[in-house]
Structure 1
Amino acid sequence: MEFRHLRYFLALADELHYGRAAQRLSISQPPLSVAIQQLEASVGARLFDRDSKGVRLTPAGAAFRGSAQALIDRAEDACALARDVQAGEVGRLRVGFVGSTLFNGLSGWLKAFQAAHPKVEVVVVELNSQDQIDALLHDELDLGLVHTDRLPPALAAAPLYTEPFVACLPADHPLAAQPCIALPSLGEQPFILFSRKGSPDYHARIVDICRRHGFYPRLQHEGRHWLSVVSLVAQGLGVSIVPAAFQRAGLQGAVFRPLVGEVEASTVFAAWRRDADPALREALLATRPPTVAIHNAGDATQAPRHQQG
């Protein structure tokens, strides 16, 4: 039995006329008659009676009709599901993110994706860059939003956007009264930085920014997440250099000031396994907002436009 036989059977069951059924199927009448005979032989029962009065379903044919329609419907549903999965319209997408993306349009991005792809289940989890890399390698994430593109060979990355670094100071710090901060003025201050273990590359990048401005930061505390760093600053335990997005975090006790001079920007990358199915990942990246502007406290400059990832 073939699905072709079922489609021919259902057309004839609807029309009860070989000529009209053949026309509906865009075939000639003889192949339809042969297909019905083949189907009846396969089923082991006569499905139609044909005499001078016309064509009628037999009791066996009437009983077979509902099951045949259900088989066709299930086959069509299976085909539609396969097409939807390939197109990134159905499935489960596990996304890791670093904290700065929460304040740089992540929630709006995910809402837009969910509205456009309601059949996709999106699971998000906040992890530092290194933990996301490990999760990607162990197939525990489908996409990571990380602060580094220095990845193992099994992973690939593309830049999503850049934003400036800003100085983060306790509100009562003497330098907090200044409209902008020259990095060398932080040289003698106790520093709070993102954990070296959580993102070795990002930690080294910030230390190198300080080194190029004439000092090594006096590391006092480390935070595993950026919000922890900002919280420690807000409690007066030191100063830091953080992505500008954290100006939107609304933590009392911390102030943010733009940095004077040329300072390397902070970049967020999308990362994924090279051998992973790209459909859902590409569908999510395709709905990414084109630009998110970051305004520095006390300053009107904007972050660079998003790069295409």
Structure 2
Amino acid sequence: MPIDNPSSTRALEFRHLRCFMALAEELHFGRAAQRLAMSQPPLSVAIQQLEASVGARLFDRDSKGVRLTPAGLAFRGHAAGLLERADAACALAREVQAGEVGRLRVGFVGSTLYNGLSAWLRAFQTSWPRVEVVVVELNSQDQIDALLQDELDLGLVHTDRLPPTLQSQPLYTEPFLACLPAGHALAGSAELPLAELSDQPFILFSRRGSPDYHARIVDICRQQGGFHPRLQHEGRHWLSVVSLVAQGLGVSIVPAGFQRAGIQGASFRPLADRIDDSAVFAAWRRDGDPILRQRLLAARLSA
């Protein structure tokens, strides 16, 4: 049978390769057609089209039966590999769509480290071991920026004041505590009135890192303690704030979780004033893929 010039024929099609593999294994048009759930004439046409695309005769057909030509034998191994890779690609795409495989980029503020973040991530990885979870510590504003740039899939932030393209849900709350150097005169107080800190140098979370949180601490001091905090230093992360306090450079008001950080030289005292708790929110893009995000949030309940 003459073979067309391949430069003038169609590109290879996977259905042609499947027809080829069935015939190459059965070496019988009837059995191959039955295996493919098709009749013999369309199978013959598919083989002819494949040979035209390849530019070589792949089968010899005569009264003795069907045999692979040397070209067909050479083609068979590569065709099998192509089909295996195609099947693997299809399976992977289905698994990604189902949320069984993938990559989840999570940002977090430091306080979450001391409020069950590790156990939460372990619970998720136990249920979904083929999902890669990448975590990075960022302050709230940097997480919001990263979410907007599609560099994070989920952020754990200290604010729910978000751009309209983002949305959030509350995760948990925790009380604020006064953070003092261990040798401070007020470090032994059972409960510390905010007004007692009015003349102290303050170390606050960076205004740039989390404008809402910075303003929140200032408002607590003004509304509950009757003073404007005397800002001495700023830190871009809460652990930096606590570390600066531990070194005797000032005092602060921090989420309670940091008393579990084990930073030597820092003392934490309850506040006597009634103050709304610190809140942490999960934030994400409204147009993001929800499957992995929802599964991670659900895993927190079982952690």
**TM-score, structure 1 length as denominator?**
0.80
| Secondary structure of the structure 1 residue equivalent to 2:217 | helix
Letter in 2 for 1:153: P
Q: 1:245 aligns with which of 257, 262, 272?
A: 257
TM superposition shift of 1:31: 3.1
Q: Give the match for residue 107 of structure 2.
A: 96
Instruction: Indicate yes or no: 2:118 matched with 1:107.
Output: yes
Asked if the contact 1:193/1:219 (under 8 Å) is kept, the reply is: no
Q: Give the match for residue 228 of structure 1.
A: 240
The residue correspondences of 1:123-162 to structure 2 (distance < 5 A) are 123-162=134-173
Q: Give the match for residue 17 of structure 1.
A: 28
TM superposition shift of 1:234: 1.8
Asked if the contact 2:221/2:229 (under 8 Å) is kept, the reply is: no
TM superposition shift of 1:163: 1.9
Question: Which 5+ residue runs of structure 2 have no aligned equivalent?
Answer: 1-11
TM superposition shift of 1:27: 2.6
Instruction: Indicate yes or no: 2:69 matched with 1:42.
Output: no
Asked if the contact 2:203/2:252 (under 8 Å) is kept, the reply is: yes
Q: 1:257 aligns with which of 245, 266, 269?
A: 269
Letter in 1 for 2:271: L
> How far apart, CA to CA, are the structure 1 residues paired with 2:145 and 2:277?
25
> How far apart, CA to CA, are the structure 2 residues paired with 1:270 and 1:11?
52
Asked if the contact 1:15/1:21 (under 8 Å) is kept, the reply is: yes
Question: Which 5+ residue runs of structure 1 have no aligned equivalent?
Answer: 293-309
TM superposition shift of 1:192: 2.5
Q: Give the match for residue 271 of structure 1.
A: 283
Instruction: Indicate yes or no: 2:204 matched with 1:193.
Output: yes
TM superposition shift of 1:62: 1.4
The CA deviation string for residues 218-255 of structure 1, in whole angstroms up to 9 with x for no partner, is 32423222112212222233332211110111011212
**TM-score, structure 2 length as denominator?**
0.82
Instruction: Indicate yes or no: 2:75 matched with 1:64.
Output: yes
Q: Give the match for residue 202 of structure 1.
A: 213
Q: CA RMSD, aligned part only?
A: 2.8
- Alpha carbons of structure 1 residues 94 and 218: separation in structure 2 relative to 1, 3 Å: same
TM superposition shift of 1:105: 2.5
Instruction: Indicate yes or no: 2:14 matched with 1:3.
Output: yes
Asked if the contact 1:22/1:29 (under 8 Å) is kept, the reply is: yes
Q: Give the match for residue 76 of structure 1.
A: 87
Asked if the contact 2:108/2:139 (under 8 Å) is kept, the reply is: yes
> How far apart, CA to CA, are the structure 1 residues paired with 2:55 and 2:250?
85
TM superposition shift of 1:187: 4.0
Instruction: Indicate yes or no: 2:193 matched with 1:172.
Output: no
> How far apart, CA to CA, are the structure 2 residues paired with 1:150 and 1:108?
27
Aligned residues: 291
> How far apart, CA to CA, are the structure 2 residues paired with 1:38 and 1:195?
68
Letter in 2 for 1:209: I
| Secondary structure of the structure 2 residue equivalent to 1:77 | helix
| Secondary structure of the structure 2 residue equivalent to 1:31 | helix
Asked if the contact 1:165/1:265 (under 8 Å) is kept, the reply is: yes
Letter in 2 for 1:27: M
